Chain A
């Protein structure tokens, strides 16, 4: 069986690698379409272009997506199965995994095992994982990292709309007259959607943009109105808005009467709760004027879209916040209409696909509910399963808690890194250390989670896997393979089905290709549906393998007989509740659940940065993407830096009752005083103590079980260091303990920035270099905080270590990192090298430090832009003309604007006039670059 499947796999491999492959991005939920083309000649590099025909991006690109080919190399890939540290054959690995799974179930029952899966999986992988656990192992202990980003939106959708359906689509963002963005730094996290909004705004300048965020993010900077509210007070604001709509009768009475239920109670309570704009303003810490401006704008603008994301979802009362948003749209009848909808945008490429197959522990399949006996019968009948799960399983946080207390003894983690991404991450790694059997399937060789795995299964990565994903606007796209499977690597669906076989379910998992799975998924969605359920892709149930291979972007629902899906839902006012009416759900009113204390006076907010994705396992491999923010950091308001005696660029400890992180303090006047921001990406593979989630308590929304990543009480302490060091090596080296370090992989160069107080143990590094039989040249200084070590041989300079005293950033002893890197690169490229002595010097003898990299696409640094500005470039597009900065992906346009404004040259109307030129033409030229 596995033999035959292998063969079909190889055949399908042969069928891939045509000259041009249409696929989708592996990163955020925007779900952009890409075209990957072979170079003209075989030796030419592949080219990645944005797909002009894909409805999500229409030829647009962001920097993460456009750098994706940098991440497909085979270094740091998991290429062979390993059991208890031994490399083994697939048969052995599968037998062993199945045995341990079977034995655990036999001894402790189905609920003693669990899968923890991921929005990175393709729908087909997701479908079989869910089917195996819920339909055949008979437990619902399968949850997904979508729990961390989308489960709140899911819960709110189901409570208010009756089904987990996103009513609108991206086009609504272009046709709206008012866009409210709350809890999203879209310019960095969903850059292409942001570009579409900016382009539309430039084309229709009367379009208004309101951004609600406790930080002045780059997104907020392009808003007409930025409500910089107190962290966690969004619910106050939207309940206040709802009350305002009621008070001013800015309502769609007809819609409310015919299509909804429960309005009067909620309206009454809301009026009592939020008697006036002034009260709301006080609660949110906002000027009353701003609040009423927002309320009037919303009330007066028919075509309004409210975009919400993690800032809403990742909080202890997220469902309430999301519900409040939905209420405002129900009350005004602005749902599922062109340019008028609430819009939850998802974090991951296939969070939606996961929701569709029922990948969450409290879902069943095809948007059917576990608690619903009728649904269980439908699914069980369809699957022909013996015992189907009867009750919801453990949600992510509870799941790992159950592993910690020994209730769950076997866990299979697929394509995700919970030791980094879950709250109280320290406890998560404890739990996995205690767990009897941890199986991890992943495409990379080293993650904080893999380090704790007993069984490692090499899974296919982006470019190798083949299947479908669904993006934030319910658009199903094919993600296609353009690379052969390397070594022993297999797709996740194949691995799962082989295990199912070994558990005795071969018949029900006898798929030959992803297409077989998708078609079954489509059939199930239509099975006994008849319009009773939102998720119905019956229209795709009869695809042939070829149709599937050629399937273009398709919106759901697409019911049997329909040739195209619907881009919008609920325009007809029919909802998927028993009575077809949407619900106003009384929620009570909670403010922020986490409050700061005397001991932990700061509120920690976490989020993404522009050029990194999740835990950096892939973006960490692209040199280009390491340059926007080179080091793990925490952003403070200037007042807080003063208050806690921290210098900008100094190392700080962020401390919560759960743990401690060490990061580079960075001043940002856009922070609210009392609030500190830290990125979610860095982890033990990249820095000494940067796993921010190890500070965050496992406080979850009571309904959705989604953790509150956005608010944690912490304190900050400055760290005094005596010295700093830079280590550049052609191989990864081990570092002496007890120092801060930050790691980057830049074109095969391993770069470490190290800093500390206690004496730096040079011998620890030199030992490794001499082991490699390199010659050592070194500078020793009677000042023990100053040293140079260069390891080289006839052919190459292998490594350079630079230690200098002091910790301030503008230190005169500091070597010029950019210069050093280019010297190392030149050497490997042209085998040319300056004398070892000059290299040890660490900078060109008349040094040149070009400053921070602003435009990653065209590698334009701040110095170049500054000089352009001082040469009279006073707008984003003129800078683009003379430096090319900002003319490709546009991600850095907000930073460019900031540079102009700080240079004091910005004109009043610049923020939008700039985009009006930049947006359209630079998107046009995109296929010509990258």
Chain B
């Protein structure tokens, strides 16, 4: 092995890292010595597919991002099941929990994020869990099988992840209840009407949905004080059902109320952090030769939860490293550019799409309702420019919208845009983006 090559040390073995590795292999094969440090034992997997994996829709092989031979072929040194404990920026050294040390020429932090745990009594009981890692999913799978089938599973949080989880559990034939703090489901992506229609569609599958309800306490079992027996419910607004029980008995509570970037390592090392590790458009942190990308970083205050921008960051970083000009004030090649991204709920038979930021005061909004088919579409415009759109039940052609928002396309005929999913021929924008944008 040629020692003269710079050593690239990557912390974290998620989707960001995987993308970075594949890109480097394309742009600069053999120009780095690469080591990847991963907390989880298992090889890199596609986090987005955890819920379908949970209920057996896809196999473990399908979950993998790479087969093991690939890493060997690339001579990538994989150090898994031993998370990073600390880094010394001056000495360019990294220490793992096991005590094992690594030095680096270039360090990449791709530590991702953690699930938010609400500061609620009992959140540490056995049975209160999040659905973040393959291990989480495996645990949940175990808790769902076996004898407990009769009793309830609670999902706390009615966002994309929570709903996907709830549907997966429901698909396994288990009774599940979604508890959502805000007035309607996916309130960050949908307007009220769409959120409520979504709740109806989900209830139609036999899932209980409580909106406007806070989960104030995880109640321990009397016999086994460390084990979850139920959750305590508190109505927050009138969207809560009148028949809301004070307690919901359940043996498992899945927390899906959000994520927070994993930045403890960077903070300890003294890198500039705000809510996440601060990097520039070339993924460079405040410290020389240290880079960060993915859910753990922020660029101009923007944070990341979807896979598309993370992949873009990986591509930017890969070409930066390939060019070897990362020390220049203004590297010539492409940098990260923020893009309008759409959110889709990935549940079979439940088509939900959302793009842009729904404004509070708008100059114009159009709604298409076809209730008997459960179709709903809405679009918001300002000065003849699309600013946001949602679609339920029927999302044909909606993928056009994101690029229109990005390009501030003037739209004199929003009706054909809303209904036809495209502008009349004379108003077609030059470039179109396509491909599915998915929550990570």
Residue numbers of A with Cβ under 8 A of B are 775-783, 786, 788, 812-813, 835-838, 840-843, 845-847
**A777-B369, A778-B369 provided; 9 other pairs, C-beta below 8 A?**
A777-B372, A779-B418, A782-B362, A782-B364, A788-B415, A813-B413, A837-B368, A841-B415, A845-B424
Q: Specify which chain B residues have a CB less than 8 angstroms from the CB of A778 in the assembled complex.
A: 368-369
Distance of B188 from chain A, by nearest CB (Å): 23
| Known A-B contacts A778-B369, A812-B424, A836-B370; A845 and B416 likewise in contact (beta carbons under 8 Å) | yes
How far apart are the CA atoms of A100 and B415 in the complex, in Å? 60
Q: Specify which chain B residues have a CB less than 8 angstroms from the CB of A843 in the assembled complex.
A: 416
Q: Specify which chain B residues have a CB less than 8 angstroms from the CB of A846 in the assembled complex.
A: 424-425
Q: Specify which chain B residues have a CB less than 8 angstroms from the CB of A812 in the assembled complex.
A: 412-413, 424
Q: Could you jot down 20 A-B contacts, CB within 8 Å?
A: A776-B371, A777-B369, A777-B370, A777-B371, A777-B375, A778-B368, A778-B369, A779-B367, A779-B368, A779-B418, A781-B364, A781-B366, A782-B362, A782-B365, A782-B366, A812-B424, A835-B394, A837-B375, A837-B394, A847-B425
Whether B416 lies near A841 (C-beta < 8 A) is yes
Whether A813 lies near B415 (C-beta < 8 A) is yes
Whether A838 lies near B366 (C-beta < 8 A) is no
How far apart are the CA atoms of A405 and B148 in the complex, in Å? 94
State whether the Cβ of B422 lies closer than 8 Å to any Cβ in chain A. Answer: yes
Q: Specify which chain A residues have a CB less than 8 angstroms from the CB of B322 in the assembled complex.
A: none
How far apart are the CA atoms of A778 and B371 in the complex, in Å? 9
State whether the Cβ of B419 lies closer than 8 Å to any Cβ in chain A. Answer: yes
Q: Specify which chain B residues have a CB less than 8 angstroms from the CB of A837 in the assembled complex.
A: 368, 370, 375, 377, 394, 396, 419
Distance of A358 from chain B, by nearest CB (Å): 63
Q: Specify which chain B residues have a CB less than 8 angstroms from the CB of A781 in the assembled complex.
A: 364-367, 415
Distance of A846 from chain B, by nearest CB (Å): 5
Whether A841 lies near B419 (C-beta < 8 A) is yes
How far apart are the CA atoms of A786 and B415 in the complex, in Å? 9
Whether A775 lies near B372 (C-beta < 8 A) is yes
**Of residues 416 to 431 in B, which have CB atoms within 8 Å of A's CB atoms?**
416, 418-420, 422, 424-425
Chain A residue with the shortest CB-CB distance to B414: A781
Whether B412 lies near A779 (C-beta < 8 A) is no
List 5 A-B pairs, minimum CB-CB distance, nearest first: A777-B370, A841-B419, A775-B372, A845-B420, A846-B425
Q: Specify which chain A residues have a CB less than 8 angstroms from the CB of B412 in the assembled complex.
A: 812
Most buried by B among A781, A788, A835, A838: A781
| Known A-B contacts A813-B415, A840-B419, A841-B415; A847 and B364 likewise in contact (beta carbons under 8 Å) | no
Q: Specify which chain B residues have a CB less than 8 angstroms from the CB of A845 in the assembled complex.
A: 416, 420, 422, 424
How far apart are the CA atoms of A782 and B365 in the complex, in Å? 6
Whether A841 lies near B420 (C-beta < 8 A) is yes
Chain A residue with the shortest CB-CB distance to B369: A778
How far apart are the CA atoms of A467 and B175 in the complex, in Å? 83
Select which of A782, A836, A838 is within 8 A of B420 by beta carbon.
A838
Total chain B interface residues with beta-carbon distance under 8 A: 25
Whether A780 lies near B370 (C-beta < 8 A) is no
Q: Specify which chain A residues have a CB less than 8 angstroms from the CB of B415 in the assembled complex.
A: 779, 781, 786, 788, 813, 841-842
Interface residues of B, dominant DSSP: mixed
Most buried by B among A775, A779, A835, A846: A779
Whether A840 lies near B372 (C-beta < 8 A) is no
Whether A840 lies near B368 (C-beta < 8 A) is yes
Q: Specify which chain B residues have a CB less than 8 angstroms from the CB of A776 in the assembled complex.
A: 371
Chain A residue with the shortest CB-CB distance to B380: A782
Chain B residue with the shortest CB-CB distance to A841: B419
| Known A-B contacts A779-B366, A782-B366; A838 and B372 likewise in contact (beta carbons under 8 Å) | no
How far apart are the CA atoms of A845 and B368 in the complex, in Å? 17
How far apart are the CA atoms of A67 and B272 in the complex, in Å? 85
Distance of A14 from chain B, by nearest CB (Å): 52
How far apart are the CA atoms of A840 and B418 in the complex, in Å? 11
Whether B419 lies near A847 (C-beta < 8 A) is no
Q: Specify which chain B residues have a CB less than 8 angstroms from the CB of A782 in the assembled complex.
A: 362, 364-366
Q: Specify which chain A residues have a CB less than 8 angstroms from the CB of B367 in the assembled complex.
A: 779-781
Q: Specify which chain B residues have a CB less than 8 angstroms from the CB of A813 in the assembled complex.
A: 413, 415
Q: Specify which chain A residues have a CB less than 8 angstroms from the CB of B394 in the assembled complex.
A: 835, 837
Whether B419 lies near A780 (C-beta < 8 A) is no
Q: Specify which chain B residues have a CB less than 8 angstroms from the CB of A841 in the assembled complex.
A: 415-416, 419-420
Distance of A719 from chain B, by nearest CB (Å): 25
Q: Specify which chain B residues have a CB less than 8 angstroms from the CB of A780 in the assembled complex.
A: 366-367, 369
Distance of A599 from chain B, by nearest CB (Å): 42
Most buried by A among B371, B413, B416, B424: B416
How far apart are the CA atoms of A814 and B418 in the complex, in Å? 16
How far apart are the CA atoms of A788 and B420 in the complex, in Å? 13
How far apart are the CA atoms of A783 and B363 in the complex, in Å? 9
Distance of A801 from chain B, by nearest CB (Å): 13
Chain A residue with the shortest CB-CB distance to B363: A782
Most buried by B among A776, A840, A841, A846: A841
How far apart are the CA atoms of A813 and B416 in the complex, in Å? 9
B383-423: contact bitstring with A at CB < 8 Å (1 yes, 0 no)? 00000000000101000000000000000110110111010
Distance of B56 from chain A, by nearest CB (Å): 34
Distance of B144 from chain A, by nearest CB (Å): 38
How far apart are the CA atoms of A526 and B424 in the complex, in Å? 74
Distance of B204 from chain A, by nearest CB (Å): 18
Most buried by A among B368, B375, B394, B396: B368
Whether A783 lies near B416 (C-beta < 8 A) is no
Q: Specify which chain A residues have a CB less than 8 angstroms from the CB of B373 in the assembled complex.
A: 777, 836
How far apart are the CA atoms of A291 and B283 in the complex, in Å? 92
Chain B residue with the shortest CB-CB distance to A792: B372
How far apart are the CA atoms of A484 and B316 in the complex, in Å? 85
**Of residues 342 to 387 in B, which have CB atoms within 8 Å of A's CB atoms?**
362, 364-373, 375, 377
Select which of A777, A783, A840 is within 8 A of B364 by beta carbon.
A783
Select which of A775, A783, A786, A838 is within 8 A of B419 by beta carbon.
A838
Chain A residue with the shortest CB-CB distance to B422: A845
Distance of A835 from chain B, by nearest CB (Å): 8
Q: Specify which chain A residues have a CB less than 8 angstroms from the CB of B418 in the assembled complex.
A: 779
How far apart are the CA atoms of A812 and B425 in the complex, in Å? 12
Whether B424 lies near A847 (C-beta < 8 A) is yes
Chain B residue with the shortest CB-CB distance to A839: B419
Q: Specify which chain A residues have a CB less than 8 angstroms from the CB of B419 in the assembled complex.
A: 779, 788, 837-838, 840-841
Chain A residue with the shortest CB-CB distance to B425: A846
Chain B residue with the shortest CB-CB distance to A774: B372
How far apart are the CA atoms of A835 and B394 in the complex, in Å? 10
Distance of A782 from chain B, by nearest CB (Å): 5
How far apart are the CA atoms of A782 and B396 in the complex, in Å? 23
Q: Specify which chain B residues have a CB less than 8 angstroms from the CB of A788 in the assembled complex.
A: 368, 415, 419
Distance of B249 from chain A, by nearest CB (Å): 41
How far apart are the CA atoms of A842 and B373 in the complex, in Å? 20
Q: Specify which chain B residues have a CB less than 8 angstroms from the CB of A842 in the assembled complex.
A: 415
Distance of A168 from chain B, by nearest CB (Å): 59
Q: Specify which chain A residues have a CB less than 8 angstroms from the CB of B370 in the assembled complex.
A: 777, 836-837
Q: Specify which chain A residues have a CB less than 8 angstroms from the CB of B362 in the assembled complex.
A: 782
Q: Specify which chain A residues have a CB less than 8 angstroms from the CB of B425 in the assembled complex.
A: 846-847
Most buried by B among A778, A812, A837, A843: A837
Q: Specify which chain A residues have a CB less than 8 angstroms from the CB of B365 in the assembled complex.
A: 781-782
How far apart are the CA atoms of A840 and B368 in the complex, in Å? 9
Distance of A96 from chain B, by nearest CB (Å): 50
Distance of A240 from chain B, by nearest CB (Å): 58
Most buried by A among B372, B373, B375, B394: B372
Distance of B314 from chain A, by nearest CB (Å): 37
